[in-house]
Amino acid sequence: MRPRAAINARHVAAFLPATFAALFVLCLMPPQVFAQANQLSRAVHLLDYANAEQVGALAVVFALAASTFVSEDLTCVGAGVLASQGRLSFALAASGCLVGIYFGDLLIFLAGRLLGRAALARAPLRWVLKPADVERSSAWLGRRGGAVVLLSRFLPGTRVATYFAAGALDTSALRFALHLLLAAAVWTPLLVGLSALLGAEVIRSSLAAGQSVLLKALLGGTLAFVAVKLLVRLSSYKGRRLLVSRWRRIKRWEFWPLWVFYPPVVAYVAWLALRHGSPTLFTCSNPAIPGGGFVGESKMDILRALSSSRESRDLVARAGLLPASAGASARIESALAFMSWHSLTFPVVLKPDRGQRGSGVAVVRSRAALEEYLSNAAGDTIIQEYAPGSEFGVFYFRLPEEERGRIFSITEKQFPEVRGDGASTLETLILRDERAVCMARAYFKVNAERLGDVPARGESVRLVELGSHCRGALFLDGSRLWTGELEKAVDELCRGFDGFHFGRFDIRAASVEEFRRGLNFKVVELNGVTSEATHIYDPRSGLLAAYRTLFEQWRIAFRVGAQNRARGFEPTPLRALARSLFESIGGSGGHHSESGLAVRRCCCAHVAGGNI
């Protein structure tokens, strides 16, 4: 990386022509424009001075310019609404916003020129800028040159990283300043003008007839803000495809948030709780796991118990615990010692032992990546061998009164791929793909460092490596994969874990055929009572079919719990369960996993059922 030169008079002087040009535009305004500042002060009390009548236009410009440092869009919308009410001239509103936007963008450029990329690792820049974003912007600048400055003004989410990257590179300060002024001079009047037009329409409409000035301003501002955001999205291919993504996520129930999808399940669990006379009876389904695997259980303890017998040891992916109390350096050394002891090479899997929220699970492919993960991990961490091959979810249950258990659900997990054409970036390929666009933001996050890469024609690029629906894996109904051999193998594995009766295995196998035969598979995780029969997320599955499956799943959980209660096991008290839930939420350290997704979804059902 090229060392950053200190800012000097030459850099500052390069901005003077564009700066004077902006001031010259203000000086050409007629005197009556500046008189509008008094109307602004009296009408909406934006400037709280004792003698508001003497506030000049420059003070209004300064107030609007300062507001853009908080939110450019909101300031432009607010100024446009004021102009629509006649409280402020359009010229003054646009000029104030233009000055703030222009100088704010210049400051970002200067920060890149003065501080360089090394500053990205320090506060406050690390809070708002990611090195990967700056790298992508740098590559974008290299391909498109000065046009990038103009384009970024119309592409939300790219401005800060692009302007900082321009400063950190050898971009001409004078050329950048002129391009920036041109972009802001086009963008700002459009935004303010659209807001003024929509604001005036609301004021004239019957909706706002007879209403107060404040209510009219709020209605106009809200409508203008929504319209502006929509217009900005529609102005670019990426924005339009992200709108498609959002629409499809609304239309397809598999992407619905828990508060939309789970109310019927909450009601059914509440009914089961009343019927069985215990709000937490389901915790008896797995006496060997605290709370039945409701929340906060140690994944490492479950893996140890599952692999306690010689027969099951080879079927469970080898794993070790790296306690947070040991410190980052000690954990790194322990991780490397674990790999050496088991003759493992990279990649390996790192994940939180009690993960409930945040991304959490990661496939690390180098020592540097391992050190970075463990240096930032807040809680106890599991290191686990990476099991290649296909991944499946197997939901199993065994009634305590029966000798053999059964497979309730099989999920075939697929890792989506896009195919290069030799010209489009990975970001464009994701947006263009009809399935991938639904999870575009998740794929952007996972592949942040290579979104600007251009895959070769015919090259397949896998978008995710982990079998997590919330991170982009495709879940399919795998009932066709059921065989007696597979069910027998899973049942024998579970019988070695005394006290386990109900839950979902995440399994990796070298091939589908070996999986169906129950041979050479590796269990990478076992989730308890809050796991889901994830085959319901097959895009071909209907909403009612999904509810029927979940209702049946919870009916079995309560039935298993009732039989274990009859055998002498006591349900976890509701207060203790709630305490575990809140402790888990408060101390999760920002990790997240597929089981964490299920926990968050089912916690609402459990707590609501208990309250009822």
Check whether residue 351 and residue 365 sit in a common domain: yes
80 and 176 together in one domain? yes
Q: pLDDT by residue (tens digit) across 484-517?
A: 999 999 999 999 999 999 999 999 999 999 999 9
Mean per-residue pLDDT for 40-47?
39
In a domain, 77, yes or no: yes
Q: What are 554-598's pLDDT values in tens digits?
A: 999 999 999 999 999 999 999 998 888 887 766 544 343 333 333
Q: Are residues 139 and 213 in the same domain?
A: yes
The predicted model gives 338-346 an average pLDDT of 96
Instruction: Supply the CATH number for residue 328's domain.
Output: 3.30.1490.20
Number of H helices, E strands in the chain: 26, 11
At 212 the pLDDT is 66
Q: Which residue has the higher pLDDT, 118 or 163?
A: 163
> What's the confidence (pLDDT) of residue 129?
67
- 271 vs 58, higher pLDDT: 271
- Residue finishing a domain among 200, 235, 270: 235
Regarding whether 478 and 439 lie in a shared domain, the answer is no
**Which domain covers residue 221, as residue numbers?**
9-235
- Claim to verify: residue 310 and residue 323 sit in the same structural domain: no
535 DSSP 8-state letter: G
Same domain, 41 and 184: yes
Mean pLDDT for 286-293 is: 95
| Mean pLDDT in residue range 260-286 | 96
The reported pLDDT for the residue numbered 220 is 67
CB 474 within 8 Å of CB 537: no
Within a domain: 365: yes
Query: Using one digit for the tens of pLDDT, what is the confidence trace for 68-91?
Result: 888 888 888 888 888 887 888 899
Report, as an integer, the average pLDDT of 597-612: 34
Residue 243 within a domain = no
- DSSP H helices, 252-344, are 258-261, 263-276, 299-306, 310-313, 328-341
Across the beta sheet with 381-385, the strand order is 319-322, 381-385, 348-352, 362-364
Instruction: Say whether both 457 and 486 belong to one domain.
Output: no
pTM: 0.74
Burial of 566 (0-12, 13-18, 19+ CB in 10 A): exposed
Average pLDDT across the chain, whole number: 82
Specify whether 30 is located in the same domain as 164.
Answer: yes
Based on the fold, state whether residues 381 and 396 are members of the same structural domain. no
Q: Which of 187, 204, 235 is the last residue of a domain?
A: 235
Cβ-contact 55, 49 below 8 angstroms: yes
In a domain, 246, yes or no: no
> Is 248 among the domain residues?
no
Q: Are residues 116 and 145 in the same domain?
A: yes
- The reply to whether 3 falls in a domain is no
**Mean per-residue pLDDT, 299-309:** 93
Residues 147 and 218 both lie in one domain:
yes
Number of domains composing the chain:
4
Examine residue 118 and state whether it is found in any structural domain, yes or no.
yes
pLDDT at 225: 75
Q: For 184, phi and psi rounded to 5 degrees?
A: -70, -35
The last residue of a domain, from among 235, 269, 304: 235
Interval 344-365 mean pLDDT = 84
Residue 114: inside a domain: yes
Residue type, 193: G
Q: Are residues 429 and 572 in the same domain?
A: no
Looking only at Cα atoms, what is the longest distance across the chain? Answer: 93
